[in-house]
């Protein structure tokens, strides 16, 4: 009374169905899988974003980002030394600015001795071989958490661009190797290029956050730099609508025309299609930012025992490479580098 399916007369064998093409042949052993592996994650692909805070000997945990800390400059220097030993090519710095220094225009970004610039100087002095990427954005410095000058409820484009370009020059003067404006104002790349060149910083590169989407995945970052609770409204009048991909291509095209040396897509994993489109279209160095929310999701699921966190970490980063990335900003950078070192 058990039902035994019959192979109906005249049906094809698997060899007839596949024409003897069997893709499992090369998957059968570790050695053959390694041999045909198309993409690889290496330590050279990693950019490590770190958070800065005032004081000395400070390592403040960030609740929403397990194993990530706000570092005083001396601690950031130690981490830079560790990163260099691990072979990580570059750091990206993000400051948590004392609330008393924040104002409506983010004027403290123009202080040559602010936290970003002081950290760049200290890291460059101690670890000259590591690349420093600085974010020329106002949001850590504004009392409202927006990336621009806010007037009558509007983020004013052109004045913000002027301020961001001036800040970029100060960052370059402090020793920044790559200025990476994340504010998405129109015209910022060209203005920064002009300002850098006019001040003798022809060799400082620009990584454009060309396609930065209005995204829920930045949540934990706002705790990290102390802007949660400050931000009024959202950033939809300057970041790209996450429904759009043609617009992302136009934005990247514009930024390259204005002088961007490299492109970045942000966030990473939900935007693999954008990475692939940009790489195919422009063939320029293309990066992804695996943002705080992506990091925290993996850490949270892993802490609950729901996924293998290290495997998910490596899979997500390799997926970004497969999509076309030349490199990835990731909070996992030191852990990945340790694993890759064996």
Binding site for ligand PBG (CB under 6 A): 135, 137, 139, 147, 182-183, 218, 221-222, 235, 291-292
CB of residue 114 vs ligand PBG: minimum separation in angstroms? 15
Distance CA 198, CA 204 (A): 12
- How would DSSP label each residue in 287-341? EEEE-HHHHHHHHHHHHTTSS-HHHHHHHHHHHHHHTT-SEEEETTHHHHHHHHH
Q: Which is nearer to ligand PBG, 222 or 276 (CB)?
A: 222
Q: Which two tokens stand for residue 262?
A: 């490299």
Closer of 201 and 213 to ligand PBG (Cβ): 213
Residue showing tokens 């058990």: 2
Measured from the CB atom, is 72 or 142 closer to ligand PBG? Answer: 142
Question: What is the Cα–Cα distance from 336 to 311, expressed in whole angstroms?
Answer: 10
Q: Report the nearest approach of ligand PBG to the CB of residue 123 (Å).
A: 19
Does the annotation count 212 as an active-site position? yes
Contacts of 96 (CB under 8 A, 6+ apart): 51, 52, 53, 70, 115, 140, 224, 225, 226
Min CB(295)–ligand PBG separation in Å: 7
315 is in an annotated binding site: no
- d(C-alpha 337, C-alpha 342), whole Å: 9
Residue closer to ligand PBG by CB (options 126, 272) is 272
Beta strands 59-62 and 65-71 are antiparallel
What's the rounded Cα separation, in Å, for the pair 284 and 208? 12
Is 321 a known active-site residue?
A: no
Shortest approach of ligand PBG to residue 247 CB, angstroms? 18
Q: Which of 102, 124, 212, 279 is catalytic?
A: 212
Residue 207, SS3 per DSSP: strand
Closer CB to ligand PBG, residue 67 or residue 281? 67
Provide the angle, in degrees to the nearest 10, between the axes of the packed helices 115-126 and 157-174.
30
- Angle made by CA atoms 32, 38, 39, in degrees to the nearest 5: 120
In the set 102, 124, 235, 266, the catalytic residue is 266
Residue 98 or 280 with smaller CB distance to ligand PBG: 98
Instruction: Give the shortest CB-290-to-ligand PBG separation in angstroms.
Output: 8
Residue 158 token pair? 């052109």
Residue 321 near residue 43, CB atoms below 8 Å = no
Structure token digits, residue 210: 């060309």
Residue 73: CB minimum distance to ligand PBG, A: 20
| Structure-token match 């040396």, residue found | 261
Evaluate whether 287 touches 207 at the Cβ level (below 8 Å). Answer: yes
**Peptide bond just before 63 cis, omega within 30 deg:** no
Binding site residue list = 251
Binding site residue list for Mg(2+) = 251
**Active site members:** 212, 266
């Amino acid at each position: 009374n058990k039902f035994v399916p019959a192979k109906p007369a005249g049906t094809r064998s698997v060899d007839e169905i596949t024409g003897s093409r069997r893709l499992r042949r090369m998957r059968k052993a570790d050695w053959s899988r390694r041999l045909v592996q198309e993409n690889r994650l290496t330590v050279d692909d990693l950019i490590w974003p770190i958070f800065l805070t005032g004081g000395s000997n400070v390592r403040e945990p960030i609740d929403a980002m397990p194993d990530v800390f706000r570092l005083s400059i001396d601690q950031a220097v130690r981490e830079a030394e560790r990163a260099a030993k691990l072979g990580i090519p570059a750091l990206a710095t993000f400051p948590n600015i004392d609330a008393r220094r924040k104002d409506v225009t983010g004027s403290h970004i123009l202080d040559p001795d602010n936290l970003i610039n002081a950290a760049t100087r200290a890291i460059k002095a101690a670890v000259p071989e590591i690349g420093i990427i600085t974010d020329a954005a106002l949001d850590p410095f504004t009392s409202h958490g927006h990336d621009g000058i806010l007037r009558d409820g509007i983020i004013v484009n052109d004045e913000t661009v002027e301020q961001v370009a001036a800040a970029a020059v100060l960052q370059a003067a402090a020793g920044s190797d790559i200025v990476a404006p994340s504010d998405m104002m129109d015209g910022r790349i060209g203005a920064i290029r002009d300002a850098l060149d006019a001040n003798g910083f022809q060799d400082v590169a620009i990584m454009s956050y060309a396609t930065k989407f209005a995204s829920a995945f930045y949540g934990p970052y706002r705790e990290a730099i102390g802007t949660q609770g400050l931000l009024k409204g959202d950033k939809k009048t300057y970041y790209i609508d996450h429904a759009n991909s043609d617009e992302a291509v136009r934005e990247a095209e514009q930024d390259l025309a204005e002088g961007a040396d490299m492109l970045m897509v942000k966030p990473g994993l939900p935007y693999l299609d954008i990475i692939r489109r940009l790489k195919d279209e422009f063939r320029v160095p293309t990066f992804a930012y695996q943002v705080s929310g992506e990091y925290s999701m993996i850490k949270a699921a892993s802490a609950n025992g729901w996924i293998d966190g290290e495997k998910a970490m490596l899979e997500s980063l390799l997926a970004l490479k497969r999509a076309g990335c030349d490199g990835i900003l990731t909070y996992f950078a030191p852990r990945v580098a340790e694993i890759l070192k064996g």
